[in-house]
Structure 1
Amino acid sequence: MSGKNFILHQTTSLQREIQNTKAVECACARFKRDMEMTLEASAREGGTVILRQKKLEPEAYEMEVSEDTVVIYGSNDRSFIYALNELSEKYLGILPFGFWNDQEIKVKPYVKIPCGHYQSEENRIRYRGWFINDEVLISHWTAGVSKEYPWEMVFEALLRCGGNLVIPGTDKNSKIYAPIALDMGLMITHHHAEPLGAEMFLRAYPDLEPSYLKYKDLFEGLWKDAIERQKNEEVIWNIGFRGQGDVPFWENDPAYDTPEKRGNLISSIMQEQYDMIREQIPGAVCCTNLYGEILELYRDGHLQIPEDVIMIWADNGYGKMVSRRQGNHNPRVPALPQKGDKGLQGTYYHVSFYDLQAANHSTMLPNSMEFVEKELNNAMDHGITDLWVINASNIKPHVYPLSFIANLWKKKALTAGEHRKTYIREYYGADCTEDQLTCMEQCISRYPDAMLSFGEREDEHAGEQFYNYVVRDFIYGWMRDGAAAPVEELFWCTGESAFDKQMDWFESKCNATCDKIEQLYHDCAVVKGSELWKDSVLLQTEIHKYCLKGSILFAESFRTYQKKEYKKCFFLLGNAVEAYNAAASAMREREHGKWTGFYANDCLTDVKETAYCLKRLMGYVRNLGDGPDFYKWQREVTYSENDAKVVLITNMENHMTDWELYLAGKNMQG
């Protein structure tokens, strides 16, 4: 068959010699859609693609290509899904993140598939997928189609990446979108705070205290209901017992006041859940999360876990395989099994994290892909190859790291450098010259180096939450008691020091990274013509730039406050407001076409809320410097110098609001 080809036309037919399922139906419809997008309409007959059953390893496929047919052999639904996706990517040119990166589609008359035998490549990871978590952007955005459509595009991208597992949202969303994910061919697992995917106790029983000690039967009833609801679905059952609202259960149940009591209870509950599942589904796969305080209990020998349960080790939210920081508590317990451990091992790994401190939500991971590569390769060396769940958040801001990690779960994985080069050329190549692509590659490589270092360790780089949550914590302390007492919420980063010393620390950290962010932004802005670049790396650098600028102005305002220069403080705070508003506007200005409204519900980092809090602080400072009559500053900024000093009538106009006053006088402040 050497030199001969199967000619794939838009008229090529799909023939199924297998059991018809919703997942295969979706895959075939997707492949036909890809053909219609990429191939010209033609009256010429285009041969046949045949789906045929064969005993192979689960998810594996083989293809026999002749001049007349492409026969795809597979053992289950995902075999055929992955095979059709492979044809789409390799021959039609549809990339895994084509939707999320606005891929420019090139239409061709037809494509040639060389005749021969093909077979799928093995993956290094058995169960691999995403947790669609903190999904506040995609849950309020329709892409101009429907509320469900963005979720379908999430699941499609995951399948195109070779994923097979998803936590389809948080809390209510997970139950709404699980049927779509299942219909498309994905397996389901559960949030670590929602064992078995059960209803949260406080939602089912809002008037009761969520105490297992008091309401054991009610908790068990919820678990039984969850098993009954999902027993006919492809589910990896997450067992465990953490608490309501993603907090430890003992915060609501003080009877469990020692590690021994907590560990004993969790161990007994996990065994009970395991038994309940296995009674209904004998071959069920179970997992449990060693997350946060649960990891510490396990490390200290207080947890007993059934031996064939996959133990999921989590990074700290910044990509380092150690326990996460919670509040001011940061033990950094290593989150890896011992080498040679015979148990089943998995990881819950973040490319996005929400900790109300310094993580990234609207911008990509502030640590390098070389760092991620090192951590995940080390995890695999420790046996973590059974399950990977990647916290993918709202997808669009995190496409680059998601793409890299999906590459890592393949046997023929690219290195971080190789992947970066390939990624840039695949997704940005249509609009850019080779020089521009090289510049982009360098900018993405330098991005982590420009991120603010809030600590000495390699992973302690700040996402955009740092500039927002730290500033809002400072505002709270400042308005609470005039900055007389330290802000305890900031002890995690500043140490237990006085308010002004905390501000010294914050200001020095911001100033240390200012030039690097400015230079990175300048270099990113050099690239012209690529809308995707403006939507992604340039936008994220711009968010950091403006939030950092607002932080520095905020710190400067505090210095003037200390000197009782209240008017100057007021206007510096107004300058900070404008910087944060610029960051918020930058996001909204990149909403075009299907992206209209994407950033509208930025309610977690919530840059606009930082601006609002700063405006409240402006009123507090004005009260100190312009009260109780509130006419002096208005005269000073709106009257001539001579008129301002002659006060026969205090004011001839209505009192200005704080913001009106700021706008009237901001250009006069030196």
Structure 2
Amino acid sequence: MMEANTSKMMQLDGSVYVHISESPTSPVRHAVRMLTRDLQAVLGHESQVCEEAANADIIIRYALAEDSCAEQEESFVIRFDKENGRDRLIVAARDELGLVYGILYVSETYLGIQPFWFWADQAIGQKEIIAIPCENYDSPARKVRFRGWFVNDEVCLIGWKQPYPPSREVWLPVFEALLRCGGNMVIPGTDLPKNGIHFELASEMGLWITHHHAEPLGAEMFLRAYTGRAASYKDEPELFERLWEKAIEKQKHQRVLWVLSFRGQGDKPFWENDPTFDTPEKRGAMISKVIRRQYDMIAEKVENPVYCAALYGEISELYKGGYIDLPDDVIKVWADNGYGKMVSRRHGNLNLRMPALPGADDQGKHGVYYHVTFHDLQASNHLTMFQGSAAFICDELGQAFESGATEYLLVNSGNIRPHVYQLDLVRELWNQGWINPELHLQQFVSSYYGSGQEEIAELYRTYAEASISYGSHSDDLAGEEFYHHPARRIIGHWLQGKCGEPDTGLIWAAGDVPFAEQIRWFGQRCGQGQEAWSSWLERCEDVMNQAAAEYQQRIVDQLKFHGVLHQSGAEGFMWLCRSYEAYSSGQYPQAFVYASQSMWCYQRGLEAMRDSEHGKWERFYSADWLTNIASTVNNVDTLRRFLRMHGDSPDFFLWYKEYLMPETEKYIYLENTHRNPLSDDELAWRLRDYFRTMEQ
């Protein structure tokens, strides 16, 4: 005979027994695995799944009438009762994802395991007893129906462990963190081999699968399947539809949000390879035709399908112009510009900034694709935290929700580890709809740090203030790629002998001005930026030095690491710009020194990455192929070798003789005993000191 639990507290200690009332599905088994692991981590004893409910401390089951669980999908309740004098905690839910969320609620609320415990290196303290208040809990309705991550630009996850494509070991903590955040959908990676575990494991853990807008329906890319054929739906509709048919057959029994889309190969407008589509009318008509055909093909095979269409880039502009017709039940997904602003993204030097939200008269269901990390070969953040403020993110997503875009929120999560703070912020937004960013910051910091919380919170607050502003808009803030892709463009333009003309790839930032003016613009911005980031890093060092030893490495990984990449990048780019100015005025030794100083700064960024690869994070940044700090170092090294040829060649002893050799030796030394030239680093160090002395 069960009885209500009138106790104020329930205690868990020793080995905890968990009972699942029905044969558990795969997602529930995964969640129970997480719970028993967490119980062991906290209590220090192995917990077990038991067959008899009478022996259980925690019972997991589908909701009964007396549970009064809400009717909506994914709802769960926490209830308490007694069986033969034994206190029991009950997790009851409407469906399997509700059970998963209820189980993970127990882990977070009563055991203290935070959503990003793995990625933020939460220190999990052991206890002899876990005291649980016997207070019923009913899960609230979530603001957004479909909530998830696009694990995009995920190269660090690819390079972290040896197998390729990434194994279960890599994906398990990704999908676990997403479920702990209340997420229910995922695009697991970008253009990974179809034989990888990522789709299978995501589905196994209960997540809805959705697709990259460049891979509609999750189908294989045309040119991979049909190498050498023209990727034209106009000319080869049967071949495209064969790929779509195969993708539908493979996924028709899974939970799938079917992405309807039509872009060109390589994630670009299809008309770049077919100039006959030379008007918005023609382009919109083709996209509408393809989407309708995809829609019909899915409807023939799938019961009650869920469709969405990504209004991304040029498709958003065509839709806004009235050139694209979509079926009424398709979720229209609007995208930010990669920098968190709900406007169309920049294409090279073209930045229309068209509003990317539904109008008041735009009926149907709407959603959002949002970036907290981005890769665009210009000024995006890939290895570092999003450069905008938490209030900015809250405002942008709040406006999206107010416009009716609450059916779907897909967040570009990148490599997870560098973006934990902003992902946690969005977690609260997709669950609640509105939050106080300051209160969230306090809660976030207190979840991972036991002391120095106000000082650490201040570092998060001021992070956005240190960011370089490169334009007139609030979202024109530089991520770490700003210091690398433009810098490498400048070096390439310079060494190719094109200094007499502007670099067209830099107009988006510096304007259509002479090359020297473009360099001067970047030099000024980076000079200001390195000062701001140096000040921020000084505060970070103070906080770290005063923190308890157990938190110091976490401060380095989650805060200082980001500041070092910014400061070293900004200073490295500043010295690069000064090197060009010295070169232009014929000061070749000085240009060589400045290029060397630039390289040394960029090397500090590499060293910060290596220092962050400790313990389980060994090799984590080994596949930094997008920002690619190592490539920047190599580019600057090539530049300084080029500069040394301007006056120190062919013997590479002339600058030493002119500037460094003692005057008493210059005219009497014997060449056959002075022929070993200094290395580039040694020469640069000594010339730097010499020029500094001469300036004093």
CA contact (8 A) 2:16 2:47 kept: no
Aligned residue among 199, 202, 214 for 1:178: 199
Instruction: Give the residue type in structure 1 aligned to 2:191.
Output: D
Instruction: Give the residue type in structure 1 aligned to 2:468.
Output: L
Aligned residue among 115, 138, 159 for 2:134: 115
Q: Which moved more, 1:275-284 or 1:171-180?
A: 171-180
Matches within 5 A, 1:253-268: 253-268=274-289
CA contact (8 A) 1:451 1:517 kept: yes
Change (3 A) 1:413 1:8: farther
Please say if 1:14 is aligned against 2:18.
yes
Please say if 1:154 is aligned against 2:174.
yes
Equivalence for 2:590? 568
Equivalence for 1:248? 269
CA drift of 1:314 comes to 0.4
Aligned residue among 38, 41, 44 for 1:34: 38
Change (3 A) 1:299 1:647: farther
Q: In structure 1, how many angstroms separate the alpha carbons of the residues matched to 2:373 and 2:509?
A: 20
Change (3 A) 1:612 1:165: same
Please say if 1:141 is aligned against 2:160.
yes
Aligned residue among 86, 89, 99 for 2:105: 86
Matches within 5 A, 1:170-569: 170-172=190-192, 176=196, 177-339=198-360, 341-411=362-432, 413-429=434-450, 432=451, 436-481=452-497, 483-527=499-543, 528=545, 529=549, 530-569=552-591
Q: In structure 2, how many angstroms separate the alpha carbons of the residues matched to 1:656 and 1:664?
A: 10
Secondary structure of 1:73's counterpart equals strand
Q: In structure 1, how many angstroms separate the alpha carbons of the residues matched to 2:622 and 2:333?
A: 34
Equivalence for 1:600? 622
CA drift of 1:508 comes to 1.8
CA drift of 1:420 comes to 0.6
Secondary structure of 1:111's counterpart equals strand
Consecutive unaligned residues in structure 1, runs of 5 or more: none
Q: Which moved more, 1:370-379 or 1:476-485?
A: 476-485
Instruction: Give the residue type in structure 2 aligned to 1:106.
Output: G
CA drift of 1:623 comes to 2.4
Quote the sequence identity (%).
39
Q: In structure 2, how many angstroms separate the alpha carbons of the residues matched to 1:294 and 1:31?
A: 44
Q: In structure 1, how many angstroms separate the alpha carbons of the residues matched to 2:212 and 2:200?
A: 16
Please say if 1:47 is aligned against 2:38.
no
Change (3 A) 1:538 1:173: farther
Instruction: Give the residue type in structure 2 aligned to 1:438.
Output: E
Q: In structure 1, how many angstroms separate the alpha carbons of the residues matched to 2:330 and 2:477?
A: 34
Matches within 5 A, 1:562-641: 562-636=584-658, 639-641=661-663
Secondary structure of 1:8's counterpart equals strand
CA drift of 1:173 comes to 5.4
Q: In structure 2, how many angstroms separate the alpha carbons of the residues matched to 1:277 and 1:359?
A: 36
Q: In structure 1, how many angstroms separate the alpha carbons of the residues matched to 2:663 and 2:337?
A: 57
Q: In structure 2, how many angstroms separate the alpha carbons of the residues matched to 1:5 and 1:248?
A: 61
CA drift of 1:46 comes to 7.5
Q: In structure 2, how many angstroms separate the alpha carbons of the residues matched to 1:416 and 1:397?
A: 19
CA drift of 1:61 comes to 1.0
Secondary structure of 1:97's counterpart equals coil
Q: In structure 2, how many angstroms separate the alpha carbons of the residues matched to 1:507 and 1:457?
A: 20
CA drift of 1:663 comes to 5.3
Q: In structure 2, how many angstroms separate the alpha carbons of the residues matched to 1:213 and 1:342?
A: 30
Instruction: Give the residue type in structure 2 aligned to 1:163.
Output: G
Change (3 A) 1:629 1:76: same
Consecutive unaligned residues in structure 2, runs of 5 or more: 49-53, 65-70
Instruction: Give the residue type in structure 2 aligned to 1:21.
Output: T
Secondary structure of 2:79's counterpart equals strand
Change (3 A) 1:653 1:124: same
Please say if 1:165 is aligned against 2:185.
yes
CA drift of 1:665 comes to 4.5
Total equivalences in the alignment? 665
CA drift of 1:649 comes to 3.8
Instruction: Give the residue type in structure 1 aligned to 2:91.
Output: I
Secondary structure of 1:542's counterpart equals helix
Q: In structure 1, how many angstroms separate the alpha carbons of the residues matched to 2:466 and 2:47?
A: 55
CA drift of 1:602 comes to 1.2
Q: Which moved more, 1:27-36 or 1:613-622?
A: 613-622
Instruction: Give the residue type in structure 1 aligned to 2:136.
Output: H
Instruction: Give the residue type in structure 1 aligned to 2:192.
Output: K
CA drift of 1:651 comes to 7.8
CA drift of 1:119 comes to 1.5
Secondary structure of 1:83's counterpart equals helix
CA drift of 1:118 comes to 2.2
CA drift of 1:113 comes to 2.6
CA drift of 1:42 comes to 8.5
CA contact (8 A) 1:351 1:390 kept: yes
Instruction: Give the residue type in structure 1 aligned to 2:567.
Output: K
Please say if 1:58 is aligned against 2:79.
no
Q: In structure 1, how many angstroms separate the alpha carbons of the residues matched to 2:300 and 2:363?
A: 25
CA contact (8 A) 1:7 1:47 kept: no
Q: In structure 2, how many angstroms separate the alpha carbons of the residues matched to 1:141 and 1:283?
A: 39
Q: In structure 2, how many angstroms separate the alpha carbons of the residues matched to 1:182 and 1:331?
A: 38
CA contact (8 A) 1:167 1:174 kept: no
Q: Which moved more, 1:168-177 or 1:362-371?
A: 168-177
Change (3 A) 1:550 1:278: same
CA contact (8 A) 2:530 2:566 kept: no
Change (3 A) 1:646 1:253: farther
CA contact (8 A) 1:321 1:336 kept: yes
**Post-superposition CA distance 1:407-465 (Å, at most 9, x none):** 11123753111101111111122xx2xxx321111111111111000001111000000
Change (3 A) 1:174 1:586: farther
The root-mean-square deviation of aligned C-alpha atoms, in Å, is 2.2
Instruction: Give the residue type in structure 1 aligned to 2:142.
Output: N
**Post-superposition CA distance 1:64-123 (Å, at most 9, x none):** 212432222222211111001000001111000001111111111222333343221210
CA drift of 1:143 comes to 10
Please say if 1:653 is aligned against 2:662.
no
Q: In structure 1, how many angstroms separate the alpha carbons of the residues matched to 2:361 and 2:6?
A: 47
Q: In structure 1, how many angstroms separate the alpha carbons of the residues matched to 2:263 and 2:99?
A: 38
CA drift of 1:214 comes to 2.3
CA contact (8 A) 2:394 2:434 kept: no
CA drift of 1:247 comes to 1.1
Q: In structure 2, how many angstroms separate the alpha carbons of the residues matched to 1:37 and 1:558?
A: 57
CA contact (8 A) 1:285 1:309 kept: yes
CA drift of 1:12 comes to 2.4
CA contact (8 A) 2:62 2:99 kept: no
Change (3 A) 1:192 1:10: farther
Q: Which moved more, 1:49-58 or 1:642-651?
A: 642-651
Q: In structure 2, how many angstroms separate the alpha carbons of the residues matched to 1:106 and 1:458?
A: 41
Instruction: Give the residue type in structure 1 aligned to 2:643.
Output: V
Q: Which moved more, 1:271-280 or 1:601-610?
A: 601-610
Q: Which moved more, 1:165-174 or 1:659-668?
A: 659-668
Change (3 A) 1:258 1:34: same
Secondary structure of 1:7's counterpart equals strand
Change (3 A) 1:42 1:282: closer
